[in-house]
Structure 1
Amino acid sequence: MANWSGNLIKDMQDSSKVILRSSLAAVLRDRYPKARHHFLVLPWEDINTVYQLKSEHLGLLEDMHKLALQTIEFHHAKLQDFKMGFHMRPSMNRLHLHVISTDFVSDSLKRERHWTHFNTAFCMPFQSIVDELKRNGKIEPRSEQYIESLLNGPLICNQCSFQTHTIAFLKRHLQEHLYSTTRYNAA
């Protein structure tokens, strides 16, 4: 691939970057994690987006989900501290399931859209994709107007009702959540 949007496909071919694998999919660390734990589960099959999925891909999705769960377990983390989903408009080639911890504490979380990519309906929950695929046999594309409304919305904390318009304030707020959780768990 000539440009950066093909890096996931290239990374899948590098066994040193693959955390877990099956005959259907592989798990990579996100190169620019937006949280303390951020993994991507990608199929070996050449599928670029959720909108190319059909009913016959339900087995693939089940396999991707199993790999996601194994990755969380492998990192001694708790499932309730993660979310799993697909972006409505991905920036990288190859379908990929985001498996991301909900702390969102990361130096790579730099822009407002980094937040809205994961903390609005723009990140379609794994189970909602499975349900839509079972119901309709395909995933209906979302309108560009709807997508932009999600990406340009306010920054609302995923752990409380705090709201701001700058990523810097939100990041400081998220650090406070992490600090209070860490302090509570250490007691």
Structure 2
Amino acid sequence: MSKRTSETVTQSVIEKKSKSWSLGLVNSMINPDYIIKQTDRIVVIRDKYPKAKIHYLVLPREDISSIHKLNSSHIDLLNEFGLLFEQLKDQHQEFTLQAGFHAVPSLQRLHMHVISKDMISTWLKTKAHWNSFNTSFFLPYTDVIKELQNKGTITKIGPEKHKDLLATPLKCNQCSYVPKNLPKLKEHLLSHQ
């Protein structure tokens, strides 16, 4: 698909669906203030509400609503996601970056998070925010591509597991510290700087 065709497809999706907050990523994909990198098939944007010092979203121009709509025909696209992740790691060598997908995305449009492990952010406000990146609710990029290659699809988690993962007790992602609450955890994270 040419860049021009991709932009037309993206624009038509925006025009049809821009009313819903869950589609906010589509609007950000065309906002130059958020765009970090782009190719014919992919746009990398800054997360509007970053949960760490570095927090980007990697999105396809193609209208794919979530990881659960991926199939084996998307392996090349996901390989390109991985190449962009490697480029971002090269640009931010002072940070430990991880890439992955939420098992149950809250926003429509497939998106891969590229996020630094520090998790220092004023936007990190709830236990669910923390657990969405620091439990198995966060599916590492390498696991997702491997499952797609082996099974041709990504397994959904059930509502009970979804709820349990987001309610998991807090624990530092860099040591064994177990805080009483999120403010204590955020204070502790500063000691890893």
CA distance in 2, matches of 1:3, 1:152: 27
Q: Structure 1 length normalisation: TM-score?
A: 0.90
Residue matched to 2:158: 143
Please tell me whether residue 71 in structure 1 is matched to residue 88 in structure 2.
Answer: yes
**1:5–1:91: 8 Å Cα contact kept in structure 2?**
yes
The residue matched to 1:62 in structure 2 has which SS?
Answer: helix
1:98-109 alignment, distance < 5 Å = 98-109=113-124
**1:39–1:99: 8 Å Cα contact kept in structure 2?**
yes
Residue matched to 1:21: 38
Q: Structure 2 length normalisation: TM-score?
A: 0.87
CA distance in 2, matches of 1:78, 1:27: 20
Select the residue among 138, 158, 173 that pairs with 1:123. Answer: 138
The residue matched to 2:33 in structure 1 has which SS?
Answer: helix
Alpha-carbon shift at residue 78 of structure 1 (Å): 4.8
CA distance in 2, matches of 1:11, 1:70: 21
Residue matched to 2:176: 161
Residue matched to 2:191: 176
Q: In the TM superposition, what whole-angstrom CA distance separates every residue of 1:116-169 from its partner, at most 9, and x where no partner exists?
A: 000000000001111111111111111111111110010111101111241101
**1:48–1:93: 8 Å Cα contact kept in structure 2?**
yes
Gaps of 5+ in 1: 179-187
Residue matched to 1:39: 56
Residue matched to 2:75: 58
Question: How large is the RMSD of aligned CA atoms in angstroms?
Answer: 1.2
Gaps of 5+ in 2: 1-17
Alpha-carbon shift at residue 174 of structure 1 (Å): 0.3
CA distance in 2, matches of 1:127, 1:98: 13
CA distance in 2, matches of 1:39, 1:77: 15
CA separation of 1:66 and 1:78: change in aligned 2, threshold 3 A? farther
Q: In the TM superposition, what whole-angstrom CA distance separates every residue of 1:60-104 from its partner, at most 9, and x where no partner exists?
A: 001111112222323x3257x011100011111101000000000
**1:154–1:165: 8 Å Cα contact kept in structure 2?**
no
Which residue identity lines up with residue 146 of structure 1 in the other structure? K
Which residue identity lines up with residue 30 of structure 2 in the other structure? Q
CA distance in 1, matches of 2:159, 2:88: 33
CA distance in 1, matches of 2:135, 2:53: 19
Which residue identity lines up with residue 131 of structure 1 in the other structure? K
Which residue identity lines up with residue 102 of structure 1 in the other structure? K
Alpha-carbon shift at residue 15 of structure 1 (Å): 3.0
CA distance in 2, matches of 1:165, 1:154: 9
